[in-house]
Amino acid sequence: MNEQINNLIEYPKKGILSKDIVKNDRLNITLFCMAKRTDMSEHTSIKPGFIYVIEGKGVFNLEGKEITMSSGVFIYMNENAIHSLRANENTSFILALTN
C-alpha cells in the first residue's frame, strides 16, 4: 500500500476506529483514530512493537509510567508489556507489531 497516512485519518464521534495498513505473517501495522475522551483499557500484546503518534493529545501508560502523547512521540513496547491509553482530544497513531 502506498498511501498518505494523513489521508486515512478519520475520527469517530465516539470510540476507536482502526485501519490495517500492512498485515502479513511478519508485520502488522495499524492506524488507530481515537475520539476525544476515549480510553483503551489495560492490556498486553504477545509481540513487541511501537506506537508513533501522528496528531492529538493523550496519555499512554506503559507498565505504570505515564507518557504524554503528542505529535511525533515514539513509544517502544516489549512483548507482554502492560499498557493503556486515554485520548484527551482526537488522537491518531500508528501501531506496528512484529513477529
Strand stretches in 1-99, DSSP E: 16-23, 27-34, 38-43, 49-55, 58-62, 65-69, 74-77, 83-87, 91-98
| Predicted model pTM | 0.93
Nearest-angstrom CA–CA distance, 54 and 93: 5
Smallest Cα–Cα separation from 57: which of 74, 41, 29, 37? 37
Q: Which domains does the chain have, with CATH numbers?
A: 16-98 (2.60.120.10)
Please tell me the least confidently modeled range out of 10-14, 23-27, 30-34, 73-77. Answer: 23-27
Look at residue 10 and tell me whether its pLDDT is greater than 80.
yes
Express each pLDDT in 37-80 by its tens digit: 999 999 999 999 999 999 999 999 999 999 999 999 999 999 99
Q: Where are the alpha helices (DSSP H) in the chain?
A: 5-8
SS3 at position 7: helix
CB atoms inside a 10 Å sphere around CB 71: 13
